[in-house]
């Protein structure tokens, strides 16, 4: 209940704190760097160095501004990070992102991912589009750098020529206009990103790229900007004091240090105030502002300004425009926000690229033919292409096709499309329970997890599966269909980034689930214990009844079958498909008889081999789906381990469990303890007969 949300809140807080402190650290580094660079201002600095320096400086400005904002918010009590956590999801990611300008920690990524109303597919689309944007932006920046180089050369030449100060001013103005153009584009890109993020389901349609992106991108292609630049630069002829003014001219260096903003804002802001949207200097600006005249402005929705962290109420579109021009004009803060957002996007892109690479490597390693189109990454939609692991088809064949039985089941049917993570599962981080299936314990197929394997591996998003489902999956994915508790832990941490923290919580939950669910069978040998799963029982989804003491009756043998066998198979649950516990029991028996652990079909010991075969026949088709690899009964553990006695988790014997094919075994196993158990019997008889 509250505990879960509590942990989330805690983690949010820590993420923010980490981010903030990281930002501080980076700020210090950046300051040092800037300082060292700034103390040796020189026209000899290369364009690349300048660009780098500009980036550093801009980042530093962003951090500084954001830190200031944070401080202000905290002082005013309007928006503490804590409160941010509880605010509607729309604002949180941006806020978080704004507070962590440089590096997005996994926690922050988690926040973003969790609180966005985005499915992984939408995230993919978003990232794709942002990638395209960033590509263009990179081109633009390269172009800009080149122009700056040219400008620098020009300035140097003109310096020698000794031009008039008035012309210098004009050059500065013109260049500033261009820089503002660049910034404007960045802002619009950010707006686009935000609109994508915020509108989530409503606007992001994979096959429908009708987003502001296109006109925006097309409106600002480098060639046109080059033309723009020509227009801007054609008039100016002179410049002096280039080295002095360069930083102030440059957008990204408008605030070199904490003392700079006032000075630089004097330079920049006049434009912003007189022409907040900068539509005068360039005809191209018209095309940009044209978009803003559309009432479907990405920064405006539901009467609220959607600028990151703003949420100002604007009664109509005109007032919104007014607000936009006044409050979000080209100034240091907006610039910083843009750059921060750029960092966010870049980080996401990096992450995506890495994950794609990993996925490719994994699939290659698994010899899976990926039908996933390389150019259009939709790694989350592997339904049709992934037969990912052999466990997908072997471990839980009955789970495909599965049919989620509740609308809240996060797993969507295959027919509905690739989305596996629904808005709810993505959004509700708190007390909302994520169930694979509420009414029936429909097993997860490996494909279910595989669809979003990469996603869950890297995003700290809580998987929409119950612990029981995940434990079962972990066990079934193991080669021997059995895992120790620690191996189960490892599987969880390996497969889900979410389970890489709060270990005490989820580990306890795993143990509880293992104990509580009848489907999990504990098998013990001399070296410890491991867990297997009874799939049929899993589908029944029954718990061991509360208040019903689980009797420990160690060292009871159970009839002829194990008369020669000191191993302790307390209770093999009746099931049609639980080859695994059966195999475990057989392994135990074989181990006790020093029988080499071959497949059950090729066992050397005639008695046990026949028994096993008889059991297989008895179990009939239920075993078929697992006998494709006879290795199921191969030694699950090391031969040495397998040679030792095995102890199967004892289970209170349900009356109905005596009616299965293995009733002989279980009744043979009958001990006084079981009779005692029957005192608790209150379950309907025959309910399990299928």
Partner DNA sequence: TGTCCTCTAAACACGC
Partner DNA sequence: CGCGTGTTTAGAGGAC
CB atoms inside a 10 Å sphere around CB 407: 9
With binding defined as CB under 7 A, does residue 541 bind DNA?
yes
Candidate ranges 81-89, 102-110, 320-328, 522-530; the one touching DNA (CB under 7 A): 522-530
CA distance 663 to 666: 5
* Alpha-carbon separation of residue 525 from 223, 456, 474, 657 (angstroms): 73, 33, 20, 24
For residue 275, the minimal CB distance to DNA (Å) is: 50
Q: Which is nearer to DNA, 182 or 429 (CB)?
A: 429
With binding defined as CB under 7 A, does residue 522 bind DNA?
yes
For residue 483, the minimal CB distance to DNA (Å) is: 10
> Which of 280, 383, 309, 346 shows the shortest CA–CA distance to 98?
309
> Do 63 and 103 touch, CB atoms closer than 8 A?
no
Burial of 415 (C-beta count, 10 Å sphere; 0-12/13-18/19+): exposed
E strand residue ranges, 12-159: none
Please identify which residue in the block is written with the tokens 């005809």: 283
Which of 2, 78, 375, 689 forms a contact with DNA (CB under 7 A)?
Answer: 2
Which of 456, 506, 558, 578 forms a contact with DNA (CB under 7 A)?
Answer: 506
Element (H, E) at 522: strand 520-525
Burial of 546 (C-beta count, 10 Å sphere; 0-12/13-18/19+): exposed
Size of the site for DNA (CB under 7 A): 54
For residue 508, the minimal CB distance to DNA (Å) is: 5
With binding defined as CB under 7 A, does residue 431 bind DNA?
yes
Please identify which residue in the block is written with the tokens 């990524």: 109
Which of 489, 491, 496, 578 forms a contact with DNA (CB under 7 A)?
Answer: 489
Which of 7, 170, 412, 663 forms a contact with DNA (CB under 7 A)?
Answer: 7
Q: Which is nearer to DNA, 511 or 676 (CB)?
A: 511
With binding defined as CB under 7 A, does residue 343 bind DNA?
no
With binding defined as CB under 7 A, does residue 406 bind DNA?
yes
> Do 338 and 192 touch, CB atoms closer than 8 A?
no
Which of 263, 457, 543, 676 forms a contact with DNA (CB under 7 A)?
Answer: 543
For residue 512, the minimal CB distance to DNA (Å) is: 4
> Do 604 and 595 touch, CB atoms closer than 8 A?
yes
CA distance 72 to 551: 61
Q: Which is nearer to DNA, 395 or 509 (CB)?
A: 509
With binding defined as CB under 7 A, does residue 441 bind DNA?
yes
For residue 591, the minimal CB distance to DNA (Å) is: 18
H helices present in 116-164, as ranges: 120-161
With binding defined as CB under 7 A, does residue 223 bind DNA?
no
> Which of 140, 326, 117 shows the shortest CA–CA distance to 219?
140
Roughly how many angstroms between the first and final C-alpha of the chain, as a whole number?
A: 36
CA distance 191 to 183: 12
Please identify which residue in the block is written with the tokens 């429909």: 442
Which of 32, 86, 322, 433 forms a contact with DNA (CB under 7 A)?
Answer: 433
For residue 547, the minimal CB distance to DNA (Å) is: 4
With binding defined as CB under 7 A, does residue 209 bind DNA?
no
Binders in 646-685 for DNA, by CB under 7 A: 649
- Count the alpha carbons within 13 Å of 205 in the hemisphere toward its beta carbon: 7
User: The tokens of 35 are what?
Assistant: 């300082």
Which of 61, 176, 314, 514 forms a contact with DNA (CB under 7 A)?
Answer: 514
> Do 555 and 524 touch, CB atoms closer than 8 A?
no
Binders in 462-481 for DNA, by CB under 7 A: 465-468
CA distance 396 to 400: 8
With binding defined as CB under 7 A, does residue 14 bind DNA?
no
With binding defined as CB under 7 A, does residue 399 bind DNA?
no
With binding defined as CB under 7 A, does residue 86 bind DNA?
no
For residue 271, the minimal CB distance to DNA (Å) is: 50
Q: Which is nearer to DNA, 292 or 477 (CB)?
A: 477
Q: What is the CA radius of gyration of the chain?
A: 32
With binding defined as CB under 7 A, does residue 426 bind DNA?
no
Which of 150, 273, 294, 505 forms a contact with DNA (CB under 7 A)?
Answer: 505
CB atoms inside a 10 Å sphere around CB 59: 23
Helix axes of 332-365 and 165-199: crossing angle, nearest 10 degrees: 50
User: The tokens of 612 are what?
Assistant: 């096993």
For residue 24, the minimal CB distance to DNA (Å) is: 30
Binders in 45-74 for DNA, by CB under 7 A: none
Q: Which is nearer to DNA, 39 or 555 (CB)?
A: 555
Which of 303, 479, 508, 684 forms a contact with DNA (CB under 7 A)?
Answer: 508
Which of 243, 275, 408, 423 forms a contact with DNA (CB under 7 A)?
Answer: 408
Which of 77, 162, 373, 407 forms a contact with DNA (CB under 7 A)?
Answer: 407
With binding defined as CB under 7 A, does residue 512 bind DNA?
yes
Please identify which residue in the block is written with the tokens 């939609």: 381
User: The tokens of 37 are what?
Assistant: 């660079």
With binding defined as CB under 7 A, does residue 342 bind DNA?
no
For residue 682, the minimal CB distance to DNA (Å) is: 10
For residue 522, the minimal CB distance to DNA (Å) is: 5
| Footprint on this chain of DNA (rule: CB under 7 A) | 1-4, 6-7, 405-408, 431-435, 438-439, 441, 465-468, 484-486, 489, 504-509, 511-517, 522, 528-529, 531, 541-544, 546-551, 649
């Amino acid at each position: 209940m509250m505990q879960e949300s509590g942990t989330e809140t805690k983690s949010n807080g820590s993420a923010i704190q980490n981010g903030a402190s990281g930002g501080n650290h980076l700020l210090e580094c950046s300051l040092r760097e800037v300082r060292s660079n700034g103390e040796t201002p020189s026209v000899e600095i290369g364009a690349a160095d300048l660009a780098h320096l500009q980036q550093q400086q801009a980042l530093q400005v962003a951090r500084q501004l954001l830190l200031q904002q944070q401080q202000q918010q905290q002082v005013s009590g309007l928006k503490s990070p804590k409160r941010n956590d509880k605010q509607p999801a729309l604002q949180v990611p941006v806020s978080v992102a704004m507070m962590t300008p440089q590096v997005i920690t996994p926690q922050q990524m988690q926040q973003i991912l969790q609180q966005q109303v985005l499915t992984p597919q939408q995230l993919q689309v978003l990232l794709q589009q942002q990638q395209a944007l960033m590509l263009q932006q990179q081109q633009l920046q390269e172009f800009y750098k080149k122009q700056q180089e040219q400008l620098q050369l020009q300035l140097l030449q003109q310096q020698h020529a000794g031009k008039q100060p008035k012309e210098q001013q004009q050059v500065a103005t013109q260049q500033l206009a261009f820089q503002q153009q660049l910034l404007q584009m960045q802002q619009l890109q950010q707006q686009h990103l935000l609109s994508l993020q915020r509108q989530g389901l409503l606007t992001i349609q994979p096959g429908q790229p009708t987003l502001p992106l296109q006109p925006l991108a097309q409106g600002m292609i480098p060639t046109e900007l080059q033309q723009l630049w020509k227009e801007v630069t054609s008039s100016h002829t002179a410049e002096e004091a280039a080295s002095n003014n360069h930083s102030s001219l440059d957008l990204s260096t408008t605030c070199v240090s904490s003392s700079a903003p006032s000075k630089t804002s004097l330079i920049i802001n006049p434009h912003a105030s007189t022409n907040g949207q900068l539509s005068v200097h360039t005809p191209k600006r018209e095309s940009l502002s044209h978009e803003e005249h559309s009432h479907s402005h990405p920064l405006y929705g539901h009467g609220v300004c959607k600028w990151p962290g703003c949420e100002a109420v604007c009664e109509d579109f005109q007032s919104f425009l007014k607000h936009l021009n006044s409050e979000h004009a080209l100034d240091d803060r907006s610039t910083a926000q843009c750059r921060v957002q750029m960092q966010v996007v870049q980080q996401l892109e990096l992450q995506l690229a890495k994950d794609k690479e990993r996925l490719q490597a994994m699939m290659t390693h698994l010899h899976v033919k990926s039908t996933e189109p390389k150019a259009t990454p939709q790694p989350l939609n592997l339904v049709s292409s992934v037969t990912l692991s052999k466990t997908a088809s072997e471990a839980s064949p009955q789970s495909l096709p599965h049919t989620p039985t509740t609308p809240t089941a996060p797993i969507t049917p295959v027919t509905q499309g690739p989305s596996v993570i629904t808005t709810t599962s993505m959004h509700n981080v708190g007390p909302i329970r994520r169930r694979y299936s509420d009414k029936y314990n429909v097993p997860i197929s490996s494909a279910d997890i595989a669809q979003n394997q990469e996603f869950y591996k890297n995003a700290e998003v809580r998987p929409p599966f119950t612990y029981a489902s995940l434990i079962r999956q972990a066990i079934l994915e193991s080669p021997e269909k059995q895992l120790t508790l620690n191996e189960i832990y490892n599987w969880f941490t390996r497969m889900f980034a979410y389970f890489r923290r709060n270990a005490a919580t989820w580990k306890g939950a795993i143990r509880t689930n293992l104990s509580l669910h009848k489907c999990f069978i504990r098998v013990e040998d001399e070296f410890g214990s491991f867990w297997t799963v009874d799939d049929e029982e899993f589908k029944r989804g029954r718990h061991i009844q509360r208040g019903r003491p689980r009797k420990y009756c160690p060292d009871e043998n159970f009839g002829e079958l194990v008369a020669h066998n000191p191993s302790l198979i307390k209770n093999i649950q009746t099931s049609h498909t639980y080859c695994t516990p059966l195999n475990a029991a057989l392994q135990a028996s074989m181990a006790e008889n020093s029988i080499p652990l071959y497949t059950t079909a090729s066992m050397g010991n005639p008695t046990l081999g026949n028994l096993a075969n008889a059991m297989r026949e008895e179990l009939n088709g239920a075993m078929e789906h697992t006998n494709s690899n006879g290795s199921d009964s191969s030694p699950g553990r090391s031969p040495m381990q397998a040679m030792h006695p095995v102890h199967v988790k004892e289970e209170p014997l349900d009356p109905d469990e005596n009616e299965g094919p293995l009733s002989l075994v279980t009744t043979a196993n009958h001990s006084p303890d079981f009779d005692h158990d029957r005192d608790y019997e209150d379950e309907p008889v025959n309910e399990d007969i299928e």
